A = this chain, B = another copy of it.
Amino acid sequence: MTTRKPPFAPQRTHGLAGGRALRPSSKVLPEHARGHNRSLVLQTLYLAGERSRADIARETGLTRVTVSDLVAELIAEGLVLELGPREDARPGKPATLLELNALAFHIIGIDLSEFAIFRGAVLDLRGQIISRAEIPLENSTGADAAAKVVALVERLVAAATLPILGVGVGSPGIVGLGGVVLTAPNLGWVNEPLQQSLAERFGLPVLVANDANAAALAEHSFGGADSDMILIKIGHGVGAGLLLDGSPFFGGRFAAGEIGHVVVGTDGGAECVCGKRGCLETWLATPRLDAALAAAASSDERTTILTEAGQRLGIALAPVVGALDLAEVVLSGPTELLDGVLGTAVIETLRARTMAEYHGGLILRMTTLGEDIVLRGAAAMVLSGQLGVS
C-alpha cells in the first residue's frame, strides 16, 4: 500500500517547474507556511472526501482558526463547497461538511510520447477524462511538431467547459528546468522552450515533464503505486520514472529514468541507433519486439523472444532494485507484449539476481491506467503544481 504524504507538491517539485511556488523553502516564512497549509487543507479534502473544519484541523494539526481562514479563502475561490450539516447522532450543533469542488476546474493533459500521434484530453480534478482530441504527427519535427502541440491545446481549451486549472504535457526526451525539452530526438527538438511558449500563447499555467516521469506520477496519484517504485514505459523507446519515498525523482540534470540506452549483459547484443550494442531498447522497444515476433517461425520461438526481452529488463533492473530497495516495478506499454511471458521473465530474473531476503516481496505488475497513463500523469502534474494535491 502507498504511504501517502499529503501533500505531494510541497515535498519535492523542482522537476515540475512552474510548481515552484509550492516548493518547500528551507526558510519557514509566513507566506510559505500559508501556501503549505492551504495545500494541506486541499489535500485532506482531496484524499479524505467530506470533512468538517474541525475534522481538517484534527487531521492536519492546524489550528481551528487557521483552517477556518483558509477554508473561507478556498470557498471564495470556488475550490471548496459547503455541503450542509453533518447528519449524525452527536450532540450539539452539527458541523458543516466541506468537499473539494470537483467541478471548479478542468485540466488539459497532453501526451506527446506516442510515435505517430499527439493525444490530449480534458480531465476533471479527479483525473477522469471528460473529452479527448488527437492530431496525427505525420512525421512533423521541430517547429512543425511544436505547432501541432499548440493546435491540440487550442482544441482542448475550446472543449473545456469549466475554467482551466492548467495544462500538463508529457514529452519524450529529457525535460529540464522550466519545462524546456532539452532533447527529444524523435521530434527533432533541442532546447525547445515548450512550457514557456505554451504559457505565453494560452495565458495558462503550463507544466512540461518527461513522459515516463508523468506516468510515474499518474501511478502515484491514481494508480495506488508503492512509495518506492520504478515505472518502465515501453513503446517506441524505453524509459523509466521513479517514485522514491513517495515523491517523483527527476535527477540532478533531469535525466533520471533514462535507462533505454544502458547496455545490458556481457554477451553482445544487437546494434542500437545510438551506436552501442545491446542497449535495453534493442531488446524491448516495441518496433524491435514486433519485428522479431513477426519473423518468428513458431509459437515456441515467439515465447523465447518475449522471455529473453523480459530477462534483459530484469538484468538491467536488478542493480537498481538493489541500490534503491524498490518495492514495486510497474510496466506500461502494449499489454499483449508485456503482460504474460515477458512480465513473468522480468520478475523471475529480478528474484534470481537480487537478495531474496530483501527483495523477495518485490512486486511486478502492469499499470492499471492503460494507455491514458501519460494523459492522467499530465493532469496530476497540474494538480500537484497548482493545488499541491496528489
Contact = CB atoms under 8 A, between A and B. Distances in A.
Contacts of A256: 323-325
A357 B176 CA distance: 14
A267 to B, nearest CB: 5
Interface in A232-286: 240, 242, 244-245, 249-259, 261-267, 274, 276
A162 interface: no
Given A319-B317, A323-B256, A323-B257, A40 B26 contact: yes
A333 interface: no
Majority DSSP secondary structure for residues of A touching B? loop
B253 A245 contact: no
A370 B237 CA distance: 42
A334 to B, nearest CB: 22
Nearest to A25: B61
Contact of A322 (B40, B259, B318, B357): B259
A54 to B, nearest CB: 16
Given A258-B325, A319-B316, A322-B258, A251 B228 contact: yes
B251 A324 contact: yes
A325 B27 contact: no
A141 interface: no
A252 B267 contact: no
A24 B7 CA distance: 13
Contacts of A101: none
A140 interface: no
Nearest to A250: B325
A376 to B, nearest CB: 23
A37 B253 CA distance: 29
B252 A325 contact: yes
Contact of A265 (B26, B245, B266): B266
A274 to B, nearest CB: 7
A359 B276 CA distance: 14
Interface string A55-84: 000001110000000000000000000000
A12 to B, nearest CB: 7
Interface stretch (A111-119, A126-134, A151-159, A347-355): A347-355
A291 interface: no
Interface of A: 5-7, 10, 12, 24-29, 33, 36-37, 40, 60-62, 174, 183, 226-228, 230, 240, 242, 244-245, 249-259, 261-267, 274, 276, 315-320, 322-327, 352-355, 357-359
Nearest to A27: B61
Contact of A230 (B25, B253, B317, B323): B323
A323 B327 CA distance: 16
B27 A262 contact: no
A50 B29 CA distance: 24
A204 to B, nearest CB: 28
Nearest to A174: B358
Contacts of A7: 26
A228 to B, nearest CB: 4
B355 A261 contact: yes
Nearest to A317: B319
Given A255-B358, A259-B319, A317-B319, 16 more contacts: A5-B26, A27-B40, A227-B252, A228-B252, A245-B249, A255-B359, A256-B323, A256-B324, A258-B325, A258-B355, A262-B353, A263-B353, A265-B266, A266-B267, A276-B352, A316-B319
A26 B24 CA distance: 10
Contact of A245 (B12, B174, B230, B266): B12
B320 A319 contact: yes
A325 B358 contact: no
